[in-house]
Amino acid sequence: MAFNKEQQKLMSQLLALDGAVKGGEDPFASIIDTPSVTMNYTFDNTWGLPDGYSLLMGGPPKGGKSILISAIEGRLHQADPDAVTMKFNTEMRENVQVTPQQKKLWGIDDSRRIVYEVREPAAIFDRVEKEVPRLVQAGIKLRLLIIDSVNDIQGRRQLNAESVDDVQIADKAATLQDGFGRIKGILRNNRVSSILTTQIRSEMDTNQQKYGKGPRIDGQKVKLAVSWYIKHFCEFFMHVERFQNKGSTADLQGHELIDETIKNAQGDADQSAHKIRATMLDNSLGRPGRIGIFTLDHDHGIINTHEEIYLLGKGFGLFEEKGSWLAYGDQKWQGKDALLDAIKSDPVLAQTILVACKARDGARRG
């Protein structure tokens, strides 16, 4: 449709108003990724958390959520020398979870992070609402807000109750809805991403227990322990857990993830690493259900990323099988182990395969 001068003038005036969406720019041009390439893959078309959007990360106790928060925060500090992060540790464990050794391991820069140990809703939501715009207006590149976890934010009426016996029905859900509702526009308009962690609870719906898809712990169907508004607030829902299936205690070449230099009274070696499985339960910006599996070493961080690249390449059908040989492009290797060794020792080959996986993933969208 061709507009006349008056129509074009009216259109221009409306598009000049605050909040008008003009389009034309890539919303995924800037993302926050993780040190695990398969965890990045779970986000689908973004391969990471886009600026201004939100990830809800849940899982069982000791499943790896807080460690992954540190890994992502450090990755961001290393990838963007101007990036600043803001964190609310409502579990009150910051000093023991993010020690100087952990900061060094993940590359966390203390000079570019603002951290609070608070549980009161006003100390979280009011600060975000007031201070995020001030930081951005001052030219500080705040890119990530972390709340670990939303379950430990106290309800408003709960704060004023004189006894734990004073029941406050729906208090926490209402508090979180109002709080996150106030900061949603602030974060989106200033392109600040957010990562929220949550606990899990048993699924009480008997039909879901029997037939429902999604994570199970010891056969018991579980779900993210958050109110509906939190689910509306976040674009990505991820379940993080310790991977305990067959082969989970060894790498892809059969080497056990243990430290033989330290043994207990029974002569058993320390387990030095374990695998983590991240499942994208739902995704507003891409396909849900993708799974990433990676290895966490307790002293060295996320290791064996060459295995992740191999699995992605295999999953995207990049390797041609010729008998006992595997070929990629004009190169070939005799068996899986040889290809794994090549990816590990050759960063150029590893990056080439990873880029090819992303390209093949993007090609399906035309």
Query: Helix/strand/coil (H, E, C) string of the chain?
Result: CCCCHHHHHHHHHHHCCCCCCCCCCCCCCCEECCCCHHHHHCCHHHCCEECCCEEEEECCCCCCHHHHHHHHHHHHHHHCCCEEEEEECCCCCHHHHCCHHHHHHHCCCHHHEEEECCCCHHHHHHHHHHHHHHHHHCCCEEEEEEECCHHHCCCHHHHHCCCCCCCCCCHHHHHHHHHHHHHHHHHHHCCCEEEEEECEEECCCHHHHHHCCCCEECCEEEEECCCHHHHHHCCEEEEEEECCCCCCCECCCCCECEEEEEECCCCCEEECEEEEEEEEEEECCCCCCCEEEEEEECCCEEECHHHHHHHHHHHCCCCEEECCEEEECCEEEECHHHHHHHHHHCHHHHHHHHHHHHHHHHHCCC
Q: Which domain holds residue 331?
A: 305-366
Assigned domain for 218 exists = yes
Q: Are residues 122 and 214 in the same domain?
A: yes
Among 38-47, 326-335, 356-365, which is the least confidently predicted range?
Answer: 356-365
Mean pLDDT of the chain: 91
Q: Are residues 204 and 119 in the same domain?
A: yes
Q: Are residues 44 and 178 in the same domain?
A: yes
Assigned domain for 204 exists = yes
- Tell me what the mean pLDDT of segment 236-243 comes to: 94
- Which of 239, 273, 296 lies at the terminal end of a domain, its last residue? 239
Assigned domain for 275 exists = no
Q: Are residues 208 and 310 in the same domain?
A: no
pLDDT tens-digit series, residues 262-297: 988 888 889 899 999 999 999 999 999 999 999 999
Assigned domain for 171 exists = yes
pLDDT on residue 263: 87
Q: List, in sequence order, every residue forming a beta bridge with 236; answer none if it has no partner.
A: 55, 283
**Higher local confidence (pLDDT), 297 or 25:** 297
- Which of 239, 268, 289 lies at the terminal end of a domain, its last residue? 239
CATH number at residue 234: 3.40.50.300
Structure tokens at 16: 């000049």
Judge whether residue 247 has pLDDT over 80: no
Q: How far apart are CA 191 and CA 132, in angstroms?
A: 10
Among 47-51, 130-134, 256-260, 345-349, which is the least confidently predicted range?
Answer: 256-260
- Which of 186, 211, 239 lies at the terminal end of a domain, its last residue? 239
Q: State the pairing for strand pair 291-297/301-303.
A: antiparallel
- Count of structural domains, the chain: 2
pLDDT on residue 307: 98
Q: pLDDT category, 207, cuts 50, 70, 90?
A: low
Q: State the pairing for strand pair 258-263/269-271.
A: antiparallel
345-365 as b/e: b if 16+ CB within 10 A: eeeebbebbbebbbeebeeee
Q: Are residues 199 and 100 in the same domain?
A: yes
Assigned domain for 232 exists = yes
**Higher local confidence (pLDDT), 176 or 212:** 176
Q: How far apart are CA 332 and CA 87, in angstroms?
A: 47
CB 183 within 8 A of CB 124: no
**Higher local confidence (pLDDT), 289 or 27:** 289
Q: Are residues 235 and 309 in the same domain?
A: no
Q: Are residues 142 and 235 in the same domain?
A: yes
Assigned domain for 292 exists = no
**Higher local confidence (pLDDT), 327 or 212:** 327
Determine what percent of the chain is predicted with pLDDT higher than 70: 96
Q: How far apart are CA 168 and CA 183, in angstroms?
A: 24
- Tell me what the mean pLDDT of segment 58-82 comes to: 94
Q: pLDDT category, 167, cuts 50, 70, 90?
A: low
Q: Are residues 161 and 80 in the same domain?
A: yes
Q: Are residues 318 and 214 in the same domain?
A: no
Assigned domain for 25 exists = no
Q: Are residues 201 and 321 in the same domain?
A: no
- Tell me what the mean pLDDT of segment 136-160 comes to: 93
CATH number at residue 322: 3.30.250.10
Q: Are residues 78 and 226 in the same domain?
A: yes
- Tell me what the mean pLDDT of segment 63-90 comes to: 96
Q: Are residues 207 and 323 in the same domain?
A: no
Judge whether residue 119 has pLDDT over 90: yes
- Tell me what the mean pLDDT of segment 79-107 comes to: 96
pLDDT tens-digit series, residues 309-344: 999 999 999 999 988 899 999 999 999 999 999 999
pLDDT on residue 166: 64
pLDDT on residue 163: 77
Assigned domain for 254 exists = no
Q: pLDDT category, 180, cuts 50, 70, 90?
A: very high
pLDDT on residue 165: 62
